[in-house]
Structure 1
Amino acid sequence: MTYLLKGGTVVTYDKDKKPRSYKSDILVEGSTIVKIEKDIQPPPDVEIIDVTDKWITPGFVDTHRHTWMTVMRASQADWLLTEYLVKNAWHVQGTITVDELYIGQLTGCLEALHSGVTTILDHFHTAHSPEHCEAALKATVESGARVILCSARQSAPTSITPDLKMEFGLEPDATNWQMAKMKEWATKDGCKLSPDGRVTLGFAYDQVGFGLPIEVNQQILKQVRELGVEIITAHVVGGPHIMLWNEGGLLGPDVVFSHCNVLAHRDEPDDEMWAIMKKHGVGIGSTPEDELGMAHGNPVAFQAVERGVKCGLGIDCTSINSGDIFTQMRIVLQWDRGRRHEKTLLSKVDPPKYNTHTSHEAFRLGTLGGAEAINLSHQIGTIEVGKKADLVVFDTDSANLAGSLDPFQAIVFNASNADVELVMVNGDIVKRDGKLTKVDWKSLAKELKVKAKGIRERFSTEKLDAIWSESYDTSGGPRW
């Protein structure tokens, strides 16, 4: 298809990585932006979309999301990270059926698209069987989102005692079939998991630092890289993981660490960990809403920006957090401002004339910064001729935006998915006139509720609270 978006205001970073908003038409042919000019004359067989006075932005980029967890959105929003690990990761997650996974993955991708999130680095950590993997892939492709599907090399525990001693009886078999599945997917079409290349293969690997010999980690990651997988992701909250990856020779520009809160208080200009991240071109997926609420530690996004380390924003668990990047942009910006203001107040020095970081920079983290972190800035993250047509159109007559002047400030501080009128991914319209185009959402919503209810019936709030209480020491901390 060929589309001409006519009369809009382009809101983006330019090729010199400067924020810019300007009036222009945009011509899209197939999956690509081919012309950005005023008063483009419509070519034959083009659909003209009137976006007069509306804002057109790049699609937002999520650098860390567990997409399937939308099916578990119930009573998790108040959980700590330790509580989440015990209740969900080590109990509920291992029981998720193929059908539950499928509906969670599909609706999770659609939720992202509804909010203008066109690209997701999906840390898919429920690869419990070949059938689970195929269901996740099927749902992802059907959604129309651009996704790096990072299948995790792990298995669920087969038995857990109250003091959290776990056995992984299926681990040897899981290693074999999961790596075989990686090879199958990687060699089918050069790591392309959809015909149009919208869904690609990544790898999630959290085993470094958890007792495996370094030789095993080196062997697995070498094998994955030889398959042509372009993104490897892992969780880093605290602990020595960054140093262990470095000592094992495992780091590279294809690595994206989520969170990295261990870096939050390392403010020295020559800090070794920050220097390692920059030297090896490692990206960070910062998830401020999740990190602040679950006690991961403090977000590091703007510290990364100041040090020249690639960084974008993400959602993390869709069972707990909002599914949009608007929330992440405003939280991370206000968090950074708050910590700086607190230092000023406590040190009793004169306040600064201006805030250190701006809405423009938060917008960059949600678009171009995310694209840089996952090594896709040559394709997405800005609106430029030759890049993929991943575009979001905002209704500037909405109750949220009608009074706004600066689009960067308004998108960061005022916008919601209610203002997202149209979303295009790879030149394909996935949301139009405020409604998703690929699915009958009402039917999917009914199915989502049924599957979510089934999970809650297996693991009621009372049952999960009992599990948590058993594993929690009366001295005031978890037993591990």
Structure 2
Amino acid sequence: MAYLLKGGIIATFTSENKAVSYKADVLVEGSTITKIAAKIDATPGVEVLDCTDKWITPGMVDTHRHTFMTVLRGSQCDWLLTEYLVKMSWSIQGAVTPDEVRIGQLAGCLDALHAGVTTLLDHFHAALTPAHAEAALSATRASGARVIWCPARQSQPTRLFPNIEYGKEEEAHEWQMRMLKEWGKDGGKLTADGRVTFGWAYDLVGAGPIEVHQEALKEARQAGVAIITAHVVQGPRILVWRDARLLGPDVVFSHCTELADHPAPDDEMWAAMKDSGSAIAATPEDELGMAHGNPVAFDAVRRGVKCGLGIDATSINSGDIFTQMRMTLQWTRARGHEQVHLSGQTAPKYNEWNSADAFRLGTLGGAEAVNLQHLIGTVEVGKKADLVVFDTSSVNLAGIVDPFQGVVFHATGEDVELVMVDGEIVKRNGKLTKANWTEVARELRQRAQHIRERFPDEMLQEIWSKYYEQHPGGPQFR
């Protein structure tokens, strides 16, 4: 297919790292942007999309999302991270069915596309069995999203009390490492067009002999994984990875909130990240709410460390990058203002960071973090046609002149009129095209209710209270 996006206002960063907005037509042929010019004449076989005065931006990039957890949306928003681990990761998660995973994954991908998020780094930590993994992968393929699908090398606890025990670790290790080779056999391409690619989630470094993890990650890299991702909250895990020679430009650490407490310019953890080319996925909404620590996105930008934004658990957080953009921007501004006030310094003339800086984190910054900046993250000739068109006559956006401020501070998924991934329209006239959302929503509600019936609030609270009594403060992250 070929499309001509006519009369729109392009808002993007360029490969030279400049924020630009200008009126132009965009020609898409196949999966690629082939021409951008002030005026492009339509030719036979090209569908013209009227974008007069509408904003055309790159698709947003989510560098850390647990997509399947959309099946649990709205049930965990008030939990601390420690509470989440015990109630969700160590309890509910071990009992979800492949069908529950499938509908959560599909709904989560569609939710992302609805909000203009075209690329996801999906940390899939419910690979309980091959059937669970296949359910998530099939839903991902069907969704139309660009996804780096990262099943997690881990097993579920088989006992929580009196001490946590992983009785199926040997079995899980065997099939997951076997499937590693299967998923990576086509150079990591999980769809013929390369829209879905294979990554690896690995949170085990620091537990048990380091040699085991070195060998596992060596096999993953040999199998062709695009990205290796892991959680880093508190504690010196970055240095553990560094000392084991596991860091590299294919590593994306989510959160890295420990780095907020290390402002020294020569701090060795920051240096390890920059020197290795490893990236940070900042998720400010849940980092601030769940006691991860403080967000470090703009600290990373200042230090030249690759960084993008992410949603994290869709059971807890909103599914759009707009929220993450404005939250990290306002948090960083507030911290800077506080430091000026407490130190008695003269107030600055301007804010240090602006809307375009936050926009970059959600687009080109995310693309850089997952090493796809040569394909996505900007609106430029030769890039993949991952594009978002905003309805600037909407209730939220009407009258706004600056698209960067409009996207970061005012936009929602309802203002996203059209979304294109790899040259395919996945949302048109405000409606998703890859699935019937009414049917998806119906099954999502049914599956979610089944989980709630198996794990009522009272049961989860009893589990958490018992664990907290035996382990005051809950699970530790150091």
Q: Please indicate the TM-score interval, normalised by the length of the shorter structure.
A: over 0.9
Alpha-carbon distance between aligned partners in 2 of 1:99 and 1:475, rounded to the nearest angstrom: 34
- Cα deviation per residue 1:205-261 (whole Å; 9 max; x = unaligned)? 000112x21111110011111111121000000112100000001010000000000
Q: Of 307, 315, 324, which aligns to 1:328?
A: 324
Q: Relative to structure 1, is the Cα distance of residues 281 and 405 closer, same or farther in structure 2, using a 3 angstrom cutoff?
A: same
Displacement of 1:196 after TM fit?
Answer: 1.4
Partner residue of 1:218 out of 206, 214, 221: 214
CA distance in 2, matches of 1:477, 1:134: 36
Give the distance between the partners of 1:441 and 1:350, measured in 2 at CA: 53
Structure 1 position 475, deviation (Å): 9.5
Contact in 2 for aligned 1:369/1:381 (Cα 8 Å): yes
3-state SS of 1:153 partner:
coil
Measured on the aligned residues, the alpha-carbon RMSD in Å equals 1.0
Q: How far, CA to CA, are the matches of 2:121 and 2:341 in structure 1? A: 38
SS of residue in 2 equivalent to 1:392: strand
SS of 1:393's equivalent in the other structure is strand
For residues 167 and 273 of structure 1, what CA distance do their matches in structure 2 show? Answer: 31
Contact map agreement 2:118 2:146 (CA 8 A) in 1: yes
Secondary structure (helix, strand or coil) at the match of 1:478 reads: coil
Q: Deviations over 1:288-326 (max 9, x none)?
A: 001000000000000000000000000000000000000
Q: Which runs of 4+ in 1 moved over 2 A?
A: 473-480
Which residues in structure 2 correspond to 1:181-330 (within 5 Å)?
181-187=179-185, 189-210=186-207, 212-330=208-326
For 2:470 and 2:84, how far apart are their aligned partners in 1?
18
Mean alpha-carbon deviation: is it higher for 39-48 or for 317-326?
Answer: 39-48
* 1:136 equivalent in structure 2: 136
Gaps of at least 5 residues in structure 1 are: none
2:197, 2:472 → 1: CA distance?
44
Aligned length: 476
Runs of 5+ consecutive residues of structure 2 not aligned to the other structure? none
- The 3-state SS of whatever aligns with 2:43 is coil
> Are 2:326 and 1:360 equivalent residues in the alignment?
no
Are the structure 2 counterparts of residues 346 and 474 from structure 1 closer, same or farther at C-alpha, using a change threshold of 3 Å?
Answer: farther
* Residue identity opposite 1:139 in structure 2: A
Measure, in 1, the Cα distance between the counterparts of 2:473 and 2:265: 34
What amino acid sits opposite 1:202 in the alignment?
Answer: G
The reply to whether residue 422 of structure 1 matches residue 409 of structure 2 is no
The amino acid across from 1:35 in the alignment is K
Structure 1 residue aligned with 2:118: 118
Partner of 2:438: 442
1:29 alignment counterpart: 29
| Displacement after TM superposition at 1:203 (Å) | 0.3
Name 1:478's counterpart in structure 2.
474
1:42 Cα shift? 1.4
Q: Tell me the TM-score normalized by structure 2.
A: 0.98
| Equivalent position SS for 1:363 | helix
C-alpha distance in structure 1 between counterparts of 2:321 and 2:223, whole Å: 32
Q: Aligned equivalents of 1:476 and 1:176: distance in 2?
A: 35
Q: What secondary structure, in the 3-state scheme, does the structure 2 residue paired with 1:48 have?
A: strand
1:459 is matched by which residue type in structure 2?
F
Deviation at 1:477, TM superposition (A): 2.4
In the TM superposition, what is the alpha-carbon distance from 1:472 to its structure 2 partner?
1.2
Question: In 2 relative to 1, CA 261–41 (structure 1 residues): closer, same or farther, beyond 3 Å?
Answer: same
**Paired letter, 2:71:** V
Q: Which residue among 162, 168, 180 is the counterpart of 1:170? A: 168
1:74 and 1:271 map into 2 onto residues whose CA distance is 39
1:455 alignment partner in structure 2? 451
How far does residue 15 in structure 1 lie from its aligned partner after superposition? 2.3
Identity of aligned residues (%): 64
SS in 2 for 1:354: coil
Contact 2:148/2:226 (<8 A) preserved: no
Task: Please give the alpha-carbon distance, in whole angstroms, between the structure 2 residues aligned to 1:333 and 1:22.
Answer: 24
Aligned to 2:95: 95
Q: CA deviation at 1:69?
A: 0.1
Aligned-residue offset at 1:479: 7.0
Offset from partner CA, 1:10-49 (integer Å, 9 cap, x none): 0000121100000000000000000000110112200000
Q: Hey, what's the Cα distance between the residues in 2 that align with 1:75 and 1:275?
A: 39
Partner SS for 2:24: strand
Asked whether the equivalents of residues 473 and 479 of structure 1 are also in contact (C-alpha less than 8 Å), the reply is: no
Residue in structure 2 matched with residue 45 of structure 1 by the alignment: 45
Q: How does 1:374-393 map to 2 (within 5 A)?
A: 374-393=370-389
Please identify, of 465-474 and 387-396, the stretch whose mean Cα deviation from structure 2 is larger: 465-474
Cα displacement string for residues 58-87 of structure 1 (whole angstroms, at most 9, x for unaligned residues): 000000000000001132100000000000
1: CA distance, partners of 2:365 / 2:48: 31
Q: 1:259 and 1:308 mapped to 2: Cα distance?
A: 16
Amino acid at match of 1:149: W
What per-residue deviation string (whole Å, max 9, x for no partner) do you get for residues 100-127 of structure 1? Answer: 0000000000000000000000000000
Normalising to structure 1: TM-score of the pair? 0.98
Residues 365-410 of structure 1: CA distance to partner in whole angstroms, max 9, x if unpaired? Answer: 0000000000000000001100000000000001111021111011
1:303 is matched by which residue type in structure 2?
D
Aligned equivalents of 1:74, 1:324: Cα separation in 2: 15
- Given that residues 7 and 51 in structure 1 are in contact (C-alpha distance below 8 angstroms), is that contact kept between their aligned partners in structure 2? yes
CA contact (8 A) 1:2 1:30 kept: yes
**After the TM superposition, which residues 145-164 of structure 1 pair with which residues of structure 2 at under 5 Å, given as runs?**
145-161=145-161, 163=162
Q: Is this contact kept in 2: 1:471–1:479, CA < 8 A?
A: no
Measure the CA separation in 2 of the matches of 1:475 and 1:84.
15
- Within 1, Cα distance between the matches of 2:475 and 2:83? 12
Contact between 1:209 and 1:240, CA under 8 Å: does it hold in 2? Answer: no
